[in-house]
Amino acid sequence: MNDLNDIKYKNEISNHSNQFTHNFDDKEMLLQEFPEQLTNYLLKYDYRDLEIIKAVILKAKKSFNSRHEDMHYMLEDIEDEILTSLKRLKKAIHDRGVKGQKETIKSMQAYLMQTILTELEETHALYMRRKNMKQYNIFNQ
């Protein structure tokens, strides 16, 4: 027999499932311009953290590209470096938590920005060394 309390209870259960789906869809919409592997990794974070992470990634990429106009990197080109940076961020938050410091993605934005920029600089330097090695290799003369 259904009474009004049963109907309310059924709606609450149903809404909870819809809330998860809705939240997951929002995350996917937020990350739609990101490469697949990076998107899959980022979906583990909650929506607020994703907004912060996305902003930092795009800001770091823009900053790096504006400093190196000879080479323009797209998200697909630097996906591995970004993943490495995100894993370092996660470890830094964990390590600081073990030491008793409560850190969040929001409080670690500067760390993430610097980590991404450092990774990109290392990648760019490696690319330039490889490029110049072909041109200026004294053993090829």
In this predicted model, what pLDDT tens digit does every residue of 12-57 receive, in sequence order?
554 455 455 557 788 999 999 999 999 999 999 999 999 999 999 9
Cβ-based neighbours of 22, under 8 Å, separated by 6 or more: none
Q: Which two tokens stand for residue 48?
A: 């607020």
DSSP label at residue 34: S
Q: Model-level pTM? A: 0.76
DSSP for 87-132, please give it. HHHHHHHHHHHHTT----TTTTHHHHHHHHHHHHHHHHHHHHHHHH
What does the block give as tokens for 70? 């000879």
Whole-number average pLDDT of the chain: 84
Predicted confidence (pLDDT) per residue in 127-136, tens digit: 888 888 777 6
